[in-house]
Amino acid sequence: ATSRLLVNYQEPYRSQILDYLFKPNFGASLHILKVEIGGDGQSTDGTEPSHMHYENDENYFRGYEWWLMKEAKKRNPKIKLIGLPWTFPAWIGKGENWPYDYPDVTAYYIVSWILGAKQYHDLDIDYIGIWNERAFSSKYIKLLRYTLDKHGLQQVRIIASDRLWEPISFVLLLDSELHGVVDVIGAHYPGTKTVPNALLTKKKLWSSEDYSTFNDEVGAGCWARILNQNYVNGNMTATIAWNLVASYYEELPFGRCGLMTAQEPWSGHYKVEAPIWITAHTTQFTQPGWSYLQVDGHLEGGGSFVALTDGLGNLTIIIETMTHNHSQCIRPPLLHFSVTPQRATFYLKGSFYMVETLQVWHSRLGFESGNSSLFQQLHPVKVWKGSFSLDLNVDEVYTLTTLKTGKKCGCPEPPPPQPFPSNYKDDFNIRNPPFSEAPNFADQTGVFEYFINASDPGDHVFTLRQVVVQRPITWVSDADQTISLIGNFQWVNMTVTCDIYIENQRDGGVFIAGRVDNGGIYVRRTKGVFFWVFADGTYRVTGDLAGEEILMKGLSGVRDNVWHTLTLNIQGTSASGLLNGYPLWENVTISKPSNGWAAIGTRSFEFAQFDNFHVEA
């Protein structure tokens, strides 16, 4: 759920961001885009909607991944697409929190997503994963291959198991049928190392999720080091960064752990961070289908190099000399090593002996000085009788290449940063919304979608509706309540107003909230000021999403299937609430949290509607 805020950037800024990511010979020029197959559950920084919320439901226009894949393909038709589920809708497990009891159902669900990508968006999915960082089932993987083939999807390759090298490698060596259907072994955060069993399988080895590091100079150093050393130490021929672009509220988990930052659609501000230009050193001078040359890859004074060819005479060499303290990734821990300035001599043999000059691109990450030089073209290197020498300093990246196509493109400076608007309204009155979810709302449990309320001819035809009515097969501990966040985490004093409509008779309930302090994988422990009303005519004020810390309760007269207006006012250490414009409770003392987002949500996984949301902070 990391591209949430990208979709509602205004042009030209949105296209500029996408160009920096995907446009060939422009910026990061990415070769691979891996997306989540939304499953209605929390996947780190929010929930992504499923294409099948319920068994008899199919919709291939929800969320933002279809749009993102199309934008990537528009810029680079050759980009490889990968889909992987984190969570699944409840009906897949028929009541169990497990996707493999009915493997035919799960396979049908995943293949539907691939078919829908083609039918509705003309997208060809190249690779499909199993279940992100959770168990795999050999039976399910074989059935998935069978189901893909049955639907004419022989070209879709299977990657397993997006967790660790084991037990998948060991199982592939034991089970020849499984070995025949898994094309790539994908491991997460391998620390540039693989294991003997993985090598014995003779499969392609990928680091199918890596990086996940704050995108400053150290993050760039981490990325430079693993892009090379995943191959040099671990024989991995692809490295995939989580995440593409930091387009989610920064105070959610792993804030700014993207290759670049675009978390302010309301201002248009974004930042092309150093990892974008580190990426370019590899991606602008190689392509999927190029081969790594089997060189040793370790430099005498520390650091590493890789060499790749297209088999048609082109050669690209990428060198990195990242020091330990300037290239630590978020995980795993990095054992100490030293790098010193050195002179390195390279010898070109065989068909490369004839190369006379190499183009040179250079980056230096400036930690002490604070000013980095990123992706600059230097004078070409002359190759003399098949050899050349380079003086390498520490924390540098060099690309030497026969290709002359490299480019460092720049757009005009984006607008300056601005906080989220302190007076924000959304009446959800949009007949043909470009996306299924209202801008800036970041769902953390449940899914909140635009809804056309055909039964209401009055003021509430266009609303926002919570649509997940059974707890999904979860990846982490989703809350027992649904919640969507919005606004500025630094907000202290605020008034939140929203029209609400409880659909569940008897046990339904909804809330509006302020000073909400948590989300993502930590959503269960969210605190704040929550104003709840229930279908049984009661209300509550609680200091937490779980509803355990009760600050006030009483009768409200609210009933289901009627619209009501809730207002929550928080000033300093005191809160008060209004129902339909009249005071319902006041002078409730608030100790903490001292600041946070605004939010809306429901008591359980239940249908409920919201309209005319307004926050003033």
Got the DSSP string for 530-588?
EEEEETTSEEEEEEETTS-SEEEEEE----TTSEEEEEEEEETTEEEEEETTEEEEEEE
8-state DSSP, 70: H
- Residue 475 CA, chain-centre distance (Å), reads 14
CA distances from 398 to 30, 226, 354, 500 (A): 18, 15, 21, 58
The full DSSP string for 366-424 is -SSSS--EEEEEEEEEEPBTTEEEEEE-SSEEEEEES--------PPPPPPP-PPPSEE
The token duo for 331 is 């995980």
The token pair that represents 36 in the structure block: 């989540």
The tally of CA atoms less than 13 A away on the side-chain side of residue 58 is 12
SS3 (DSSP) at 436: coil
Q: For residue 535, what are its two tokens? A: 């279908």
Rounded CA-CA distance 484/447 in Å is 8
Instruction: For residue 576, give the nearest of 496, 511, 468, 462 by alpha carbon.
Output: 496
Closest CA to 466 of 425, 502, 518: 502
Structure tokens at 375: 């992706």
Structure tokens at 567: 């207002």
Phi and psi, residue 66, nearest 5°: -60, -50
Assign residue 311 a region (left: φ > 0; alpha: ψ between -120 and 50; beta: otherwise).
Answer: left
Beta bridge partners, 347, equal: 387
The dihedral built from the CA positions of residue 545, 256, 15 and 487, taken in this order, carries a sign that is positive
Alpha-carbon distances of 561 from 481, 484, 557, 558, 609, rounded to whole Å: 19, 21, 13, 10, 10
The 8-class DSSP code of residue 475 comes to S
546 phi, psi to nearest 5 deg: -65, -20
Rounded to the nearest 10 degrees, the angle between the axes of helix 65-75 and helix 13-22 is 70
- The active-site residue, picked from 48, 65, 71, 209, is 209
Q: To the nearest 5 percent, what fractions of the chain are helix, strand and coil?
A: 20, 35, 50
Between the alpha carbon of residue 211 and those of residues 225, 239, 243, 330, 452, the distances in Å are 10, 9, 8, 7, 41
H/E run at residue 451: strand 448-452
- Annotated catalytic, 273? no
Q: Which residues pair with 128 in a beta bridge?
A: 83, 158
Q: Is 133 a catalytic residue?
A: yes
Q: Kindly tell me the sign of the dihedral angle through the C-alpha atoms of 137, 142, 145, 150.
A: negative
- Cβ–Cβ < 8 Å for 513, 600: yes
Task: List, by residue number, the catalytic residues.
Answer: 133, 209
